[in-house]
Amino acid sequence: MSHIENAPPPPAGFRILDLFAGPGGLDVAADVLGYQVTGIEWDDDACATREAAGMDTFHGDVRKYSASHFPHAQVLTGGPPCQTFTVAGRGAGRRALDDVLGYIERLHAVVSGAEAKWEDVSRTWREITEELGEKAAEAERIKAEKREVDALRAVERKAIRKSLQEDGSSQERIDRVLKALRASRDLAPEDADLNDLVAQYSSLGTALKSMKADLEKLGDERTGLVLQPLWWVIERCRRPGLEPFEAVILEQVPAVMPVWEKYTEVLATLGYRTRTQLMFTEAFGVPQTRKRAVLMARLGGTEIPEVAETHERYRPRPILTRTSKETGALFWDPEETAVDRTPKKSWVSMETALKKARSIAPDLPDRPAFTVVSNYGTGGDPGARGERDHDAPSATITGKVSRNRLVHKDTKEDLPEECARFTFAEAGVLQTFPVAYPWSGKDQPQQIGNAVPPLLALHVLRHVLEPELSDEQARARLEQAVADLEAWRPGEPAKVREHGEWEGHPLTGK
């Protein structure tokens, strides 16, 4: 049974629908605030975690659902996957971004008309989804061809190796030729006599390059998912018989901010007050440096101010040199305004967060002073691993968090095996999940890395949904919610529903 049926009435009676809900980062934040959330999530493993955590869930692709299925939802939230935008500004990422902005403009044009009819609005959306579907189908066809070409190239490469071996070529020459082929480079002058031998392989490489270029133009099928929340809002506002969502909250990586800005133009036309904000997670008490682009919208009412930062932003203390002493070294982030530099709490370190978690779960590892050595190289150099000491916030928690090594802070020697890596519970704590959160299913590090930090979600939810609170009331509310979040424990598991299982659900009215 889900906690949604037994929770106390939320402060403002809101029922939240969370698209692309993941393992429950926003859900657990809403839970401690007293709100009731239903999530839609396609990933089986994330659904397993949600089920164990008692989070109300519909399983499946968001595109198979509709806003009309949940007429009693009052707030829409979500973090649509936007991997194709992470390289925005060059190549495929820039094209994907431009495509999405163009689709949003088309939707805006049709909803802005003085006599806009639902039939026209739905037709425009149908045309967009058909275009995206055609691109996805073409991309799948090209991917199938590409797999065949890759297989043929592998066969050719083996044949070339065998031919060179039979001709008595040295191992050095064989390695040099195969390395050039793998890198799609021309053969060295001293190997020019092999051009006929590698001609077929080279022609396959040319075909492969063409396919890759075509795939870049078509884009990633996930690109269109970022349009889903906007369409759900439009449907609730324009489809006869439905009521608009009272509030909308969306979050993603900073590269998606241009999409959120374009969203605000449509939302304003639909009667919403909006605010976009680049949020630094450590500035809201998350023991981790991470940036998120957040869109907040409320139907009518007053303007939405930015969410006030409660903690300092993290920055390594500058090393003072003669030049820095003369020019004045910056001890604040140059992106911050004068208002931002009012006294705040210090950011929360990994050490502080994990120590507090151990007071709740004593079986967690108790380590000496440590340094986290990232799985990632810096500046493209795999040997230049990023490092962060225990008395600082964690670097961004990703799906590869379990590969990070923990070493002694002073000697850089590996810690004992039993505490040389973060446990899943600890990685969740660094994302501000409760230490008791029941991570389940496969690839739990990926679930953790993909989730919205619950503490960040808590700040945003309270800010958008409770504007009537005074500053003092808001602070007290946050303090209590943070304490409840840290001490949260799962209740009874919640059975995950499938598409079509509407009966008896509070958001469906059936």
Along the chain (510 residues), what's the average pLDDT of each consecutive run of 10 residues? 46 87 97 96 97 98 97 96 58 79 96 87 95 88 91 87 86 86 76 78 87 79 87 97 97 94 97 98 97 97 94 74 43 46 82 96 94 67 70 93 91 90 96 98 94 98 95 93 96 96 94
Q: Are 23 and 439 in contact (CB under 8 A)?
A: yes
Residue 449 lies in a domain: no
Task: Tell me the C-alpha distance between 231 and 122, whole Å.
Answer: 9
Residue 77 lies in a domain: no
Residue 169 lies in a domain: yes
Q: Are 458 and 29 in contact (CB under 8 A)?
A: yes
Residue 90, token pair as written in the block: 């060059």
Is 237 a catalytic site residue? no
Provide the pLDDT for residue 193: 77
- Strands (DSSP E) contained in 178-301 are 247-252, 272-280, 291-299
Q: What is the maximum alpha-carbon separation in the chain? A: 84
- Residue showing tokens 């969203």: 263
Residue 205 lies in a domain: yes
Provide the pLDDT for residue 318: 52
Residue 455 lies in a domain: no
Q: How many domains does the chain have?
A: 1
Task: Tell me the C-alpha distance between 224 and 18, whole Å.
Answer: 18
Coil, helix or strand for 210?
A: helix
Residue 208 lies in a domain: yes
Report which of 346, 351, 467 is spatially closest to residue 409, judged by C-alpha positions.
351
Task: Tell me the C-alpha distance between 366 and 300, whole Å.
Answer: 51
Provide the pLDDT for residue 11: 60
Residue 173 lies in a domain: yes
Residue 447, token pair as written in the block: 């679930």
Provide the pLDDT for residue 227: 95
- The one catalytic residue among 47, 82, 237, 419: 82
Task: Tell me the C-alpha distance between 304 and 273, whole Å.
Answer: 7
Provide the pLDDT for residue 378: 45
Structural domain span for residue 172: 139-218
Provide the pLDDT for residue 122: 96
Residue 144 lies in a domain: yes
- Residue showing tokens 């502080």: 352
